[in-house]
Amino acid sequence: MKKVQKLEAILWSIAFPGFGQLLNRHLFKGFVFIFLEFIINVNSFFNQAIMYSFLGKIMDAELVVNHQWLMFYPCLYMYAMYDAYKFADGENPPYSYVPFAFGAYFVTVGLMYSPNKYFGIFFGPIWLPILSLIPGLAVGFIIRYFIIKYHSRQISS
């Protein structure tokens, strides 16, 4: 049976945590991720906050969202993506988890700082965490690069 490619697994995990696991035929893990996503989503009022944010009603999104529940989402989301990537077909590059982990860290920090204005703009609980993913991934890839470089130097000496 043909295995799922890494890009396909990542894209389905971006669409909904757990779908990548289902494609990889890890049914139990997939259903656990879907269940956890559902519980966090409902209790954090995440979909309503997304809807308000996309409609430009950022303050309404801030008022409706439950930050304590939403704080779980970045780690669940990024771990589900990493897990789907890891078990999909193809080579797993060394330390490939590092960008995913730093992405989760930065999105979580972005969520914590989301009630504040930056440069006179209120980004809210959806846009600031999304924008925080970009530097999180960049830092993760940079750290991964230096870890690989350090370990290759250790091996060659």
Residue 55 main-chain phi, psi, to 5 deg: -85, 0
The answer to whether the beta carbons of residues 101 and 140 sit under 8 Å apart is yes
Pairwise CA distance, residues 104 & 136, whole Å: 7
The one-letter code for the residue type at 118 is Y
Helix (H, G, I), strand (E, B) or coil at 115: coil
Pairwise CA distance, residues 112 & 3, whole Å: 38
Averaged in consecutive runs of 10 residues, what is the pLDDT profile of the chain (157 residues)?
Answer: 86 94 95 97 96 96 96 95 94 94 97 91 94 97 95 75
Pairwise CA distance, residues 109 & 98, whole Å: 17
- The pLDDT, as a whole number, for residue 157 is 64
State both tokens at 154. Answer: 């250790």
- The pLDDT, as a whole number, for residue 1 is 59
The angle formed by the CA atoms of residues 27, 30 and 34, to the nearest 5 degrees, is 135
